[in-house]
């Protein structure tokens, strides 16, 4: 049997949290031609040649959301689809956000929407968020207490 494997340089996703009286996750809606719909996701992108994951996370966060993070903390690494590709996704938890303006790649149209923690939890459980990396990052951060502001322990 011949098995095709898609080689991938690696990728990052970022779980950005706006702090304040009401903590909010900066989610994006991104049109995905493969599923023919705009879907809820965490900001993400592919590593450039020679780029470190933390640098890619900082770059993609600004490009896609317009926010710069004072703090990027590794949350987890996951294999996106090990039956098809060797892609490894590095997920970072981002805080200390400052709005500096989106810098989208040509052809990208991304809607940015800060969502309350309670609303994100509902979206995870009601199926509104279907993207795997986003579900994994949100559920792990919630389990660790990071969404509520307890970033001191775990991982």
Written in H, E and C, the secondary structure of the chain is CCCCCECCCCEEEEEEEECCCCCEEEEEEEEECCCCEEEEECCEEECCCCCCHHHHHHHHHHHHHCEEEEEEEEEEEEECCCCCECCEEEEEEEEEEEECCCCCCCCCCEEEEEEEHHHHHHHHHHCCCCCHHHHHHHHHHHHHCCCCCCCCCCC
For the question of residue 106 being annotated catalytic, the response is: yes
DSSP H or E segment with residue 95: strand 88-99
The secondary structure element, H or E, covering residue 92 is strand 88-99
Each residue of 53-69: pLDDT tens digit?
999 999 999 999 999 99
- Structure confidence by residue, pLDDT tens digits, 2-35: 999 999 999 999 999 999 999 999 999 999 999 9
Rounded to an integer, the average pLDDT of 128-152 is 95
Provide the token pair at 77. Answer: 């690494």
For residue 104, what pLDDT is reported? 84
Structure tokens at 55: 């640098």
Does 1 score more than 90 pLDDT? Answer: no
Q: Tokens 């898609």 — which residue?
A: 6
Q: Domain segments of the chain: what residues?
A: 11-144
Confidence at residue 103, expressed as pLDDT on a 0 to 100 scale: 86
Which of 106, 108, 113, 151 is an active site residue?
A: 106
3-state class (DSSP) for residue 42? coil
Closest of 107, 140, 126, 102 to residue 26, by C-alpha: 102
CATH class of 11-144: alpha beta
Whole-prediction pTM value? 0.94
Average pLDDT over the chain, rounded to whole?
A: 95
């Amino acid at each position: 049997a011949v098995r095709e494997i898609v080689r991938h340089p690696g990728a990052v996703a970022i779980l950005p949290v706006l702090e304040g009286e009401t903590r909010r996750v900066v989610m994006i809606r991104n049109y995905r031609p493969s599923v023919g719909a705009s879907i809820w996701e965490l900001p993400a992108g592919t590593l450039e040649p020679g780029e470190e994951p933390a640098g890619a996370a900082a770059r993609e966060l600004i490009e896609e959301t317009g926010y710069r993070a004072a703090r990027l903390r590794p949350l987890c690494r996951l294999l996106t689809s090990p039956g098809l590709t060797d892609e490894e996704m590095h997920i970072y938890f981002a805080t200390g956000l400052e709005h500096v303006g989106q810098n989208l790649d040509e052809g990208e149209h991304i809607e940015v929407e800060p969502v309350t923690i309670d609303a994100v939890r509902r979206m995870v459980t009601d199926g509104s968020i279907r993207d795997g990396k986003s579900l994994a990052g949100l559920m792990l951060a919630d389990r660790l207490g990071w969404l509520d502001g307890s970033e001191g322990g775990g991982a």
